[in-house]
Amino acid sequence: MRVVFAGTPGFSVPCLQALIDSDGIEVVGVVSQPDRKSGRGMKLTPSAVKQAAIDAGIDVITPEKLRDNEEALAWLEGRECDVLVVVAFGMILPKAWLEAPAIAPVNVHASLLPRWRGAAPIERSLLAGDTQTGVCIMQMEEGLDTGGIYACKTLPITQSTTGSELWFALSPMGAELLVETLPKIAAGLQPEPQPEEGITYAQKITNEERIIDWSFSADAIDRLVRCFSPRPGVRTQLNGKWLKLISGEVVSGTHKLSNGQIVAVDAGLDIACGDGSIYRVIELQPEGKKAMSAVDFLRGAQLKEADKLS
């Protein structure tokens, strides 16, 4: 089976590597997004997928766009692929790309479709308080994650699961399911249409969403912190400076303070949240400093009850 792979971030790499390592599958080309500036020096850096393709000696292209790009389409058609596999590529594929593979265009999607179609399924499932998520192997079509489903695997989300834990669990799970399913697709497996009920959309995460609103319940804030821990983190302000919150927990008890006020500073940094609930910060990172425990931070911060975060 001849496969062209389209992907960009590190999440996609296990799928690419699994295809490279599979008997009966030949990765005949890789397409990824162009190099981006990153790091302190803002040096142009290849995507994780591009670097993996280079390391494996696979032909790779990085077009700025696909629509109305005859050169990129000619490259794809020249690969004469049976399957086009897409994993977190980050560009919308035009109709001509979807029609190019001899068998099917296939997507590895990190949710249990039709829940969380779109750009940020891992984050949205955690923020919404879902108790499970998973990966789906789906047939691609022009609609946003609307294609039929070939196979799914589920993964539980616990009250301590972090976004990074989901990322590191779903990525290899998707790779394993992909290499299990591709031979079945080649043998004639047909996708099942997605249900009409239960459709939700995972909108792209904005920077504003990673700033804590202390009017949210402690449960919601706990999910927010876990979702973006340890990177890129969520932030709040104290005395005009940013604090990044890395970990914490919901604690029992209620308060009658304003949202964002400090309830206690003994076992940790306890903050008044919406609905009278309390969130305890366990680990944080002050602006311009290294990460530390909240207890260590409190030793030098000279905070007292009723001081307020915003």
pLDDT one-digit tens code per residue, 98-137: 999 999 999 999 999 999 999 999 999 999 999 999 999 9
Paired residues of 156 in beta bridges? 132
**Beta strands, E only, 140-277:** 149-156, 201-202, 234-238, 241-251, 262-264, 269-272
Stretch 269-279: mean pLDDT, rounded? 96
CB 105 within 8 A of CB 86: yes
Looking at residue 41, what is its pLDDT? Answer: 79
Q: Does pLDDT of 43 surpass 90?
A: no
| Domain spans of the chain, in order of start | 2-202, 207-301
Q: Please, what CATH class does the domain formed by 2-202 belong to?
A: alpha beta
Amino acid identity, residue 226?
R
Averaged confidence pLDDT in the chain: 95
Q: Is the pLDDT of residue 40 over 80?
A: no
pTM assigned to the model: 0.93
Fold of 207-301: Methionyl-tRNA Fmet Formyltransferase; Chain A, domain 2 (3.10.25)
In which order are the strands placed within the sheet that holds 26-31?
60-61, 26-31, 2-7, 83-87, 104-109, 132-139, 149-156
Residue 120: the pLDDT is 96
C-beta of residue 191 within 8 angstroms of C-beta of residue 149: yes
pLDDT tens for residues 66-93? 999 999 999 999 999 999 999 999 999 9
User: What are 140-149's pLDDT values in tens digits?
Assistant: 999 999 999 9
DSSP 143: S
Residue 231 pLDDT more than 90? Answer: no
Whether the pLDDT of residue 39 is over 80: the answer is: no
Phi and psi angles of residue 159, each rounded to the nearest 5 degrees, phi first:
-75, 0
